[in-house]
Structure 1
Amino acid sequence: MAPASDACIGAPLALVTWEPDTGKFEFGPGLDALKVATGQDNVPLAVVAVTGLPRTGKSSLLNQLVRELLGLELPPEHGFKTGHTTEACTQGLDMWWPPLPVRLPQAGMDSDGSVAATGAVSRAAAGRPTHRLLLLDVEGTSAARMCKSRSVRVMALTALLSSLFVYNSMNVIDEDAVERLGLVGEVVRRVREHAGAHTGGLGKHAPTFVWVLRDAHLQPAVINGREETPTEYMERQLAPLSRKGANGTHGADPDGDGGGNGGAGDDPRTALRALFPHANECRMLPQPLADGGRLRAGAGPGSLGATDLAPAFREGVRELATLIAARARPKSWGGGQAPGATPTAGSACEGGGGCAAATPVTGPVLAALLEAYVGAINSGAVPVIADAWEATLRRECDRACTAAEEAYEAAWVEGPEPQDTQELRQRHEACLAAARKEFEAIAVGPASLKHQFEQQWRAVVQSRYNERLAVLLGRQAEAARRQAEEAQREAAQARREMEKAQERAAAALRQAEAAAAQAAAAQQQAAAAQREAAEARELAAEARQAVAQAQRQADVAIAEAAKSRQQAEAERERAEAVRRQAEELRRREIDARQAMADAAMRAEEAQQQCVAYEKARRAEQFRAEEAARCAEAERQQAAAAQRCAEEARQQAAAEAKQREEAAWRARHAEQQRQAAEAERQLADEASRQAAAEKKGAEAERDRARGAALITAMAAALTLLLKLRG
C-alpha cells in the first residue's frame, strides 16, 4: 500500500460522549460534521459499528479496516486511539470522517456476500459507487466499573444507528460471551418500532450482525464428516436452548419477538435472533503477530504497518473488509430497502412486488436521528423508531423549506428589478426552479410528505410574489396616474397654445383688414393720382396748345419779337414750369401704381397667413381631442390596475390567514400529542403503583397467613401440653 497524507484519508471525530456527572450522553463535533455534510459527503451512509468488551482490540481492528477500505497506508500516529494499558481508550462513540467510499465489485463476490477473490473492495475499480461507509468505534461494554444502565444505553444507541453490527470478542463463543452479548436482548425489550399496533422489535430496521473472534487458534469442529464454517459454528452456539435447558433457564420465546416475559432468566439466544433477524456472519482472525511480545510492548495493530502483521491476519482483515462493504447497506424508511439490500419480512419488497421509494440515511438524516434517539435515552423514555424517523423526515423537510425560501430570495436579487408583470412572472418562475432544485436536494421522505412541505414553501414564495406583484401594480398605477396628469397638463398646454394661435389668427385677421383698408386707401390714392394725371395731361394738352398758339403768335409776332421778348421769356418759363409739373405728375402716377402693387401683395400674404393659422388651429384642436381620449384611457387602465392590486392584497391577506390557521392547528395537534403522552405516562405510573400495591397486599396476606399458622401451632402445642399433663 502507498502512504497517504492526513488530508486525503480523514480522521476520527467524537460523535457521542458520556458525561459521568450527569449520567447522560452528550454530542461531540461529529454531529456538526454530519449536519453540514454536502456534495459527495451527503450520500447514503451505511453505519458500521464495532462493539464488544473493553481492551479486545476494537479500535485496532477499525484502523486495519480503514487501511484496507482506503487501500492506503495509515501513518503510525493516525487513526482511532489505541493503547497498551488496562485503561480503556474510547469513551462513547467515535466516527471516522469523512465516510469511506464503497465500490461494489461486479465479479469475485458470491450472492451471499462471501469473498470469492481476495483484495480490498476499494480497489474494485470495475464497480460503481453506491454509498459510503461510516465506521463507529464504540466504547467497551460490561466493564468492571461500568453500570448496567450505561452499557444498555450504549448498546441500544449502537443498535439503533448501525446498519452492520460487529461484535468483537476473543477466541471462542462460550456461554459467558453469549451472556455478555445477551445484554443486547435488553435492547429488544426497550426499543420498539411502532407504538401500539406494531410490536415486532426492530423489524426491518435491525442491523446485520457479524461476530468477529479474535486471536482464534482452535481448529474447526468436524460434524457429519465435514468441517463447519465459522458462521455455522456461530449458528450452532446461538441456537435456542430447550424449554428447560441444562441450567434450568427457559428457552425459545413463543412470541418470537425476543421480549419473552422480560424475566432475567430468558434465553439470550432468542433475544439475539429477534434483534438480528437477517443473514448473519462470523469471522475468525488469528493473532496479529506470530509473537505477541511487540504488542505487549505497546505497539497495537493500529500503529503497525501492513508488513509488520502476520499474513494470515492481514488476509482475514482483507476478507472482513470485503464482507463489510458487501453487506453494509444504508437504512431506509418509507416502503423499501436501500439498493442492494436483502428484502426482509414486513418490508415493501417482500413477495416479489416492486419496492416503494425509500428514504436512505444521509449525513443530515443520521444527525437528526441521533439527536432524537439520544434525547429519548437521556430522558429515560423508550425510543420509538417510527416517531424518530417521522420527526427526522419532517425536520429535514422543514430545513429544505427554509433552504428553498432562501434560494428563492437569493435568485430573486440577481438581476435588475422587473418592470412589468410579464418580467415579474418570468423571474418568479426562474426563482421557483432554483428553490425547487434546492428543496429536492435536501428534502427526504415519501412523496406525500415532501408534497406537503413543498406546498408550504410554495405558499410562502407565492405570497412574496403576490406582494411584489401588488407593489409592481401599485407602481404601474402610480405611473399611469402620473401619465394621466402629464397628459392633462399637456392638454391644458395645448388648449393654451390653441388660444394663443387663435389670438394670433385674430391679430393676423386684424392686420389683414388693416392691410385691406390700406389697399383701399392706396386704390383711392391711385384713383386720385390718375385724376391728377388726367388733369396734368389736360394741362399738358392746353400747354401744347398754348405753345402752338405762342409759336403762331411768335411767327405772327416775329416782327414784334424784339418788342415782346420779355413776354416770350415769361411764356417760356411758364412752359418750363408746366413741363416740370407734368413730369412730377408722371412720377406720382408711377409711385401710386407701385403702392397699389405692394398693397395687393400684402393683402395676398395676409390671406395666406390667415389660411395657415386656420390649419394650425384645427391641428391643435385635433391633438387636444386625441390627448383627452388618451388621458381617459390611461385613467381607466389606472383604475383597473388599482382593482388588481386590491384583489392581490385581499388574496395575500387570505393566504396569511390560512397560514395562521394551519400553524394554530399544528400547535393544537402538538398540545394534544403532549397531553396524550402525559396521560400515557400517568397510566404507566398508575399501573406500576397498582402492581406495587398488589405485591404489598400479597406480602400482607402472606404475613397474615404466617401469623395465623403460628397462632394455630401455638394453640395446638398448648393443647398437646395440656393433654400430656
Structure 2
Amino acid sequence: MSVKDHLIWKASTVYKRLADAYESPVTMDKPVCFIDTDSDGKLCVQQSALQILQQIQQPVVVVAVVGLYRTGKSYLMNRLAGKQTGFALGSTIESKTKGIWMWCVPHPTEAGTTLVLLDTEGLGDVDKGDPKHDTNIFCLAVLLSSTLVYNSRGTIDNKAIMDLRYVTELTECIKVKSSNIDDSSEFVKFFPSFIWAVRDFTLERKVDGKDVTEDEYLEFALKLKHGTSRRVMEYNFPRECIQKFFPSRKCFTFPFPTAKEKLSCLESLDSADISSEFLKVTDNFCKFVFRDSSVKRLKDEYTVTGRVLGHLATTYVDTISSGSVPCLENAVIAMAVIENEAAVKVGLQVYQSGMEKLKDSFPLELKAVSSEHQDLSSTATQAFMKRSFRDTDGKYLKSLEVGSVCLFRMVVNH
C-alpha cells in the first residue's frame, strides 16, 4: 500500500468510526431522572441523563406523557418500552413520578432510530401546591416531544378539558421568535402531534344516538359553542387552543384494566388477570405511536439526535430557571454554535490523525505532502458536514480549513 493510500485509509477509518458511533443504538435497562428540581426549587437537567443522550447520535422519536397525577401515565410508558416495569407506578394517592424521567430504547419498528420516552410529574399534585411548576413541566413536554400523550381518567367532559388549562397558557410560556410580535400562529410548525388517552372509560361512545369512533368522540368534545357571551368564550377558549396548537389529534379510550382491588399491583399482574379489551386498546395505542410518531425535527426540517435533544433540554430549562420565556429561535441558535464547534473538532481530529501517520513516512517531497493535505482535507470536510448544523455563512467550515492549514504547516516545518 502506498503512503497516499495508507493515509486515506487511516483517515477513512477514523471517519468510519465516527459514523459508526452515529448509527450505534443506546439501550437503557431502566429509566433515569432527566429533569429534576434543585434545593432552590428551580428545574435542572441531570448530568447523568445528558451523558446518555450524548451517546445517541441517531434520530430520536420523543414521546412524552402528561396528565393529572395518579391517572396511570407510567403504565403506558412502560408498555411503549416493551416492559412490564420500569417507570414507577404508584399505588397510593401520592404522586410517584417527580420531575421528568427518561427511558431510551431502540425504536421497535424504525431501524436506526431511538425511541425516547418521557414520563412527567403528575399535574395538580396537592402536596406540591405550585401551579407554575406544573405549567413549566407541561411546556417542557411540549417543547421536547414529537408526540404528546395527554392522559386523563373517566370522560372527556368540560372538567377534563378545563384540567388541560395549561394549553391555554402556552402563548405566555413559549415564544417562536425573540421579537415581541405575537407568533402563536407558528406554534403548529414546531409542536408535537397530540394523543388523548382516556383511562377507565365506561360510557358508550354515542353522539345523538349514533355510535362514534374514538376520534369522533374527541372532536365532539372539542366542538365550539355559538355565541359571544363570557360563559361561551370561557367554554370555547381551551377548545380553540387545543384545535389551533394540535391539529394532528388522536384519541384512545381504555376500559378498566382489571378489578379495582387489583389496580394497585397492575405491573405485576399476568395478562390473564387483565381485561382483554384493555390489552387490545393498549396494543392499538402502542402500534399507533410506533407507526405515526415522527422523528423530532427543528426549523428547516433539521433532524434531532439524542445529543441535540440534550442541548435543547439544557437551553430550555436554563431559560425557565432564569425566569425568562423559552424561545425556539434562540434555542436553535445556541444549539447551532455548540454543534458547529463540535463539528470543527471532529473534522480536525480526522485530519490530524492522517497527518500524524504522514510523519512516519518522512522525508517526503513537498508536492507529495501537499497532495496528502488535499485528500485529508476532503475527508475532514465530510466528517464536518456530517455533524454541522446551519453553518449558512460557512463560518465554521472556514474555521476547519484554517485549522487544517495550521496543522499542515506544523507538519511541514517539523
Taking structure 2 as the reference length, what is the TM-score of the superposition? 0.86
Q: Which has the larger radius of gyration?
A: 1
Structure 2 residue runs of 5 or longer lacking an equivalent are 1-25
Do the aligned partners of 1:156 and 1:191 also contact (CA within 8 Å) in 2?
A: yes
1:244-393 equivalences in 2 (<5 Å)? 244=228, 247=231, 249-250=233-234, 267-276=237-246, 278-289=247-258, 291-295=259-263, 298-300=264-266, 302-335=267-300, 358-393=301-336
**1:525-536 alignment runs, 5 A limit:** none
Cα pair 1:182 1:269 within 8 Å, conserved: no
Matched, 1:22 2:40: yes
Give the number of the structure with larger relative contact order, counting CA–CA contacts within 8 Å between residues 6 or more apart. 2
Query: Aligned-pair distance for 1:155?
Result: 0.7
Aligned with 1:216 (options 176, 181, 201): 201
Distance verdict in 2 for CA 1:317–1:271, change over 3 Å: same
Equivalent AA in structure 2 for residue 269 of structure 1: R
- The aligned counterpart of 1:82 is 89
CA contact (8 A) 2:218 2:251 kept: yes
Distance in 2, Cα, partners of 1:136 & 1:329: 15
- Equivalent residue of 2:265, what SS? coil
Q: Which residue of 1 aligns with 2:63?
A: 48
Coordinate RMSD, CA, aligned: 2.3
**2:271 and 2:60 mapped to 1: Cα distance?**
27
Cα distance 1:391–1:175, how it changes in 2: closer, same or farther (>3 A)? same
Alpha-carbon separation, structure 1, partners of 2:375 and 2:317: 41
Judge conservation of contact 2:190–2:299 (CA < 8 Å) in 1: no
Query: In 2, distance between residues paired with 1:176 and 1:198?
Result: 29
1:663-711, Cα deviation, whole Å (9 max, x unpaired): xxxxxxxxxxxxxxxxxxxxxxxxxxxxxxxxxxxxxxxxxxxxxxxxx
Aligned to 2:13: none
SS in 1 for 2:123: coil
Spell out the pairing of 1:645-660 with structure 2 (5 A cutoff): none
- Cα distance in 2 for partners of 1:16, 1:273 equals 29
**Matching residue within 95, 100, 103 for 1:96:** 103
Question: Partner letter of residue 273 of structure 1?
Answer: Q
Counterpart residue identity of residue 204, structure 2:
Q
C-alpha spacing 1:59/1:246, structure 2 compared with 1 (3 Å): same
TM-score (norm 1): 0.50
CA contact (8 A) 2:74 2:89 kept: yes
- Aligned-partner SS, 1:414: helix
State the distance in 2 between where 1:334 and 1:65 align: 27
Contact 1:404 1:435 in 2 (8 A): yes
Contact residue 242 and residue 250 of structure 1 kept, 8 A: no
Match of 1:440 among 373, 385, 404: 385
The CA distance in 2 between the partners of 1:363 and 1:430, in whole Å, is 31
CA contact (8 A) 2:35 2:101 kept: yes
Distance in 1 (CA, whole Å) between partners of 2:175 and 2:388 is 26
**Aligned-partner SS, 1:448:** coil
For residues 207 and 326 of structure 2, the distance between their equivalents in structure 1, rounded to whole angstroms, comes to 44
Matched to 2:286, the amino acid is A
List runs of 5+ in structure 1 lacking aligned partners: 1-6, 68-73, 104-128, 253-266, 336-357, 473-725
C-alpha contact 1:13 1:97 (8 A) present in aligned 2: no
- The alpha carbon displacement at 1:243 in A equals 4.1
> Mapping of 1:111-510 within 5 angstroms?
129=111, 131-146=113-128, 147-196=130-179, 199=183, 200-223=185-208, 226-244=210-228, 247=231, 249-250=233-234, 267-276=237-246, 278-289=247-258, 291-295=259-263, 298-300=264-266, 302-335=267-300, 358-415=301-358, 416-419=360-363, 420-445=365-390, 448=392, 451-469=394-412, 471=413
What letter is aligned with 1:422?
K
Q: Which letter does structure 2 place at the counterpart of 1:25? A: L
Letter of the 2:31 partner, please give it.
Answer: P
Per the alignment, in what secondary structure is the counterpart of residue 294 of structure 2?
coil
Aligned partners of 2:27 and 2:104 also within 8 Å = no
Identity %: 26
Q: Give the 3 Å change call, closer, same or farther, for CA 222–275 of structure 1 in structure 2.
A: closer
Retained in 1: the 8 A contact 2:105–2:114?
no
Say which SS state the counterpart of residue 332 (structure 1) adopts: coil
More helix by share: 1
